Amino acid sequence: MKIDTQLPRVPADRFAEEARRVEAIGFDGLWTVEAGCDPFLPLIQAASATRELELGTSIAVAFGRSPLSMAQVAWDLQRASGGRMRLGLGTQVRAHVERRYSMPFEHPAARITDYVRCVRAIWNCFQTGATPSYQGRFYQFTLMNPMFSGGPIDRPDIPIYLAGVNPRMCRAAGEVADGFHVHPMHSVGYLRDVVMPALDEGAKLRGKRGTDLELYAPIFVVTGETRQERDRSEASVRRQISFYGSTPSYRTLLEYHDLGALGRELSLRARRGDWEEMPKLIPDELVEQIAVIASPAELPATLRRRYDGILARLSLYFPLSSGDADARTREFIRAFRAA
């Protein structure tokens, strides 16, 4: 199991410095998030600043870009990084795609499978010079000339990850993706009973199994050396659970845990802007199901036990913090690999 991290929100002139720091600490991979910053800009700097660190988007909003623009930037990053790129895609939700990106959203699961197939057709054209002939339900790629082609690269097989929560999107990932981004709003029971069977169902359509996909997840963790640190850590996790739980797209998880009414109440509170009161509604039992709760010394082994046989790689949703955060993180990574 690999241990990754997410790029913190830092100014653009620090992207390369942060990537070097992440590699020096000992992480296996660095993921960027599309929130307040384009997810690809940091990666081009990270590709030049590092040598072994795997790089990826977690996630880039697929429907906010055409398949060609997505294919081109991923191809450039794969070339620049020497083959270390992982293209993580997500659909986002209807309101954001239509009202923030001004793009269509109908039939998101069918659309994203078509999107991925189109991206791969473009890459094949770049690499082999094949005549573009992709015509799908939503996307087409039937025109290219040498001036606009990305041209061949040494390592053309770029893994594509899809993100999802609901069974239909998980089936879509199984059908076309190489990896799956597990949302931090999850429980092991939900992964085993809902996500993994849906991945397997989709994968069988192309002669594969759900276990052929590499699963990655950012993990909510409640930890700390002191009571004050643990309380602060738990408060942050509760805020995130209440925020995600207020979004109808994530309600299937709450319904799985017989908390559908909580999801509806959180949505109502969010519409009112009652953000400060929402974390108080999250029951302790749900925190225990979603978050890993352990002391810093026990955390590496606890993570291993919980996700063994499920995840191929993980990261902490909130980074470890202390007076010497880098040294503490190095020790955590050593213990995690030894567990």
Do residues 165 and 289 both lie within one domain?
no
CA–CA separation, 318 vs 220, rounded Å?
Answer: 7
Is residue 13 packed enough to be buried (19+ CB in 10 Å), middle (13-18) or exposed (0-12)?
exposed
Do residues 332 and 206 both lie within one domain?
yes
Q: Residue ranges of the chain with pLDDT lower than 70? A: 322-323
Do residues 53 and 135 both lie within one domain?
yes
pLDDT at 144: 97
Which single residue is written with the structure tokens 């992709």?
Answer: 134
Do residues 96 and 240 both lie within one domain?
no
Do residues 22 and 75 both lie within one domain?
yes
pLDDT at 323: 57
Domain count, the chain: 2
Do residues 58 and 88 both lie within one domain?
yes
pLDDT at 320: 84
Do residues 153 and 185 both lie within one domain?
yes
The domain that holds 138 is classified in CATH as 3.20.20.30
pLDDT at 319: 86
Do residues 242 and 109 both lie within one domain?
no
Do residues 105 and 70 both lie within one domain?
yes
CA–CA separation, 57 vs 74, rounded Å?
Answer: 10
pLDDT at 60: 97
Do residues 283 and 197 both lie within one domain?
no
pLDDT at 250: 87
Tell how strand 140-141 and strand 134-135 pair up.
Answer: antiparallel
Name 327's Cβ contacts closer than 8 Å, sequence gap at least 6: none
pLDDT at 322: 61
Q: What are the pLDDT digits (tens) for 92-115? A: 989 999 999 999 999 999 999 999
pLDDT at 249: 85
Name 234's Cβ contacts closer than 8 Å, sequence gap at least 6: 222, 287, 291
Do residues 65 and 139 both lie within one domain?
yes
Give residue 260's domain range: 224-293
pTM over 0.75: yes
Do residues 155 and 285 both lie within one domain?
no
